């Protein structure tokens, strides 16, 4: 057998697997997005062309959910990156028990998001939650964490902030882990030289540390941004999207379209719309954090 044929022999099962598991459902969903189809009542699927896309584009409900998704990402992602990076720097120093601390910091990542959300739901309950009990005992006031009152300065509902904070609690360790991996690639000699040369802390970060961790931060940003778009379990357990639609991000809306309204055509169309947005954002992030560095 020729080497090329042999290569194909080994590659084809993987390609077939990829096609069956990934591509086929994707293409099927794409096809579905051109039909009006209710799975449960099983009226004959009706071909509607790009109507589903057009309707969604003009649907204020979709734009409202996009705004909520934007707010949610803009709160949770920076918090995760700032906290995750700070913790990683803290653990990078010669701190006693840093290995134990790193393990402890990773615990939220090891717990299923559904369990974490449930745990916070009880903790943050307006009337019987531990957090409000402590606040009430110490300061004489409570916060309705899952309510619709606006957070001062931020201007978003407490419920949305709470969901973002819980997501931050779950995912900050991931950033810590990534940044720790990035920091471990910096040669000790470079940092020692910088200390000998009396370079300021800010310059040390700007010219030495950041270039080393930039690609891995970029990768973390891509992964987390994609994941943030797909957040579902935390919201489902904490607020079910409420109050009203205050915490209903776009994936939650897709879920409702598909599994409450059984409108698979619109749900598929919206999913593809989101896929395009995520691909676009990924390309920008890749360009900035990874490829731009390579060109330089």
Partner 1 sequence: MSRNALFAIVIIAILIVGLGIWYATRPPTPTVKKVTLTIASPEWTPGKVIEQYSKEEFTEYAKQYGYEVEIRFDYSPWGTYYQRLSSVFAAHSSEIDLAFSDSQWIGEFAEGGHIIKINDFLDKNPDLKKALLEDTLENILLYYCVYPRRGISVDEVVDLAKQGKVDIWGVPGTADSNHPLFYRKDLFTHPEERAAFKAKYGYDLPQTYEDWKKVDWVQVRDFAEFFTRKKGEKLAGEVLEEDFYGIVLINAKDYDYISCFFLDVFWSWGAELWDEETMTAEGYVNSPQAKEAARFYMELVKYMPPGAPSIDYDALITTFAEGRAAMTSLWSSMAGIFFDPSASKVADKIGVAVMPHHNGVRYTVLGGQPLVVSAYSKNQEVALLYLKWFYSDDVQKKLALDLGFTARKSILNTPEFMNSHPWTQAYVENAKYAKDFWNIPLYSKLLEAQQEILNAMVAGQIPPDEAMDLIAQRHEEILKEAKGG
The DSSP code for 46 is: E
Query: Residue 137 interacts with partner 1 (CB under 8 A)?
Result: no
Q: Which of 63, 205, 259, 291 is the binder for partner 1 (CB under 8 A)?
A: 259
Query: Residue 40 interacts with partner 1 (CB under 8 A)?
Result: yes
Q: Which of 64, 90, 131, 142 is the binder for partner 1 (CB under 8 A)?
A: 142
Q: Which of 84, 182, 241, 273 is the binder for partner 1 (CB under 8 A)?
A: 241
Query: Residue 115 interacts with partner 1 (CB under 8 A)?
Result: no
Find the shortest distance in angstroms from Cβ 168 to partner 1: 21
**Structure tokens belonging to residue 81:** 């990156």
For the chain, strand residue ranges (E) read: 35-36, 46-47
Q: How many CB atoms lie within 10 A of CB 249?
A: 26
From the list 63-71, 80-88, 125-133, 186-194, the region that binds partner 1 by CB under 8 A is 125-133
Binding to partner 1 (CB under 8 A): which residues in 204-223? none
Burial 73-100 (b: 16+ CB within 10 A, else e): bebbbebbbebbbebbeebbeeeeeeee
Find the shortest distance in angstroms from Cβ 41 to partner 1: 4
From the list 97-105, 120-128, 176-184, 269-277, the region that binds partner 1 by CB under 8 A is 120-128
Dihedral (Cα; 228, 232, 237, 238), 10-degree rounding: 40
Question: What is d(CA 283, CA 285) in angstroms, rounded to the nearest whole number?
Answer: 6
Question: What is d(CA 228, CA 271) in angstroms, rounded to the nearest whole number?
Answer: 14
What is the residue whose two structure tokens read 């992030």?
A: 285
Cα distances (Å, whole numbers) of residue 30 to 227, 266, 271 = 21, 11, 9
Nearer of residues 214 and 256 to partner 1, judged by Cβ: 256
Task: Give the count of residues interacting with partner 1 (CB under 8 A).
Answer: 28
Dihedral (Cα; 88, 92, 96, 99), 10-degree rounding: 60
Question: What is the CA 85 to chain-centroid distance, rounded?
Answer: 17
Nearer of residues 14 and 40 to partner 1, judged by Cβ: 40
Q: Are 249 and 72 in contact (CB under 8 A)?
A: yes
From the list 79-87, 119-127, 192-200, 215-223, the region that binds partner 1 by CB under 8 A is 119-127
Q: Which of 9, 16, 28, 38 is the binder for partner 1 (CB under 8 A)?
A: 38
Query: Residue 262 interacts with partner 1 (CB under 8 A)?
Result: yes
Query: Residue 165 interacts with partner 1 (CB under 8 A)?
Result: no
Query: Residue 126 interacts with partner 1 (CB under 8 A)?
Result: yes
**Structure tokens belonging to residue 214:** 């930039």
Question: What is d(CA 200, CA 85) in angstroms, rounded to the nearest whole number?
Answer: 19
Nearer of residues 96 and 128 to partner 1, judged by Cβ: 128
Query: Residue 70 interacts with partner 1 (CB under 8 A)?
Result: no
Binding to partner 1 (CB under 8 A): which residues in 220-239? 239
Q: Which of 5, 41, 44, 198 is the binder for partner 1 (CB under 8 A)?
A: 41
Q: Are 169 and 83 in contact (CB under 8 A)?
A: no
Query: Residue 256 interacts with partner 1 (CB under 8 A)?
Result: yes
Nearest to 88 by CA among 97, 69, 72, 101: 101
Query: Residue 261 interacts with partner 1 (CB under 8 A)?
Result: yes
Per CB under 8 A, residues contacting partner 1 are 38-42, 125-128, 142, 144, 146-148, 239-246, 256, 259-263
């Amino acid at each position: 057998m020729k080497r090329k044929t042999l290569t194909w022999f080994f590659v084809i099962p993987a390609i077939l697997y990829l096609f069956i598991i990934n591509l086929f459902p994707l293409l099927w969903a794409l096809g579905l997005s051109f039909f009006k189809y209710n799975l449960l009542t099983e009226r004959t699927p009706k071909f509607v062309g790009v109507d589903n896309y057009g309707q969604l584009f003009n649907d204020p409900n979709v734009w409202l959910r996009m705004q909520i998704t934007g707010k949610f990402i803009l709160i949770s992602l920076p918090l995760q990156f700032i906290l995750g990076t700070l913790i990683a720097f803290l653990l990078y120093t010669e701190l006693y028990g840093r290995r134990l601390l790193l393990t402890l910091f990773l615990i939220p990542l090891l717990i299923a998001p559904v369990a974490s959300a449930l745990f916070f739901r009880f903790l943050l309950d307006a009337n019987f939650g531990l957090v409000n009990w402590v606040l009430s005992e110490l300061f004489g006031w409570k916060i309705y964490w899952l309510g619709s009152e606006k957070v001062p300065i931020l201007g978003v509902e407490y419920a949305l902030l709470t969901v973002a904070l819980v997501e931050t609690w779950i995912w900050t360790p991931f950033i810590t882990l990534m940044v720790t991996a990035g920091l471990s690639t910096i040669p000790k000699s470079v940092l020692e030289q910088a200390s000998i040369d009396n370079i300021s802390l800010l310059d040390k970060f700007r010219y030495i540390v950041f270039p080393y961790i930039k690609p891995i931060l970029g990768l973390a940003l891509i992964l987390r941004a994609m994941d943030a778009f797909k957040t579902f379990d935390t919201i489902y357990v904490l607020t079910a999207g409420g109050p009203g639609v205050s915490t209903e991000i776009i994936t939650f809306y897709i879920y409702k379209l598909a599994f409450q309204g059984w409108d698979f055509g619109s749900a598929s169309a919206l999913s593809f719309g989101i896929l395009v947005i995520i691909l676009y954002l990924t390309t920008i992030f890749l360009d900035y954090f990874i490829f731009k560095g390579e060109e330089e």
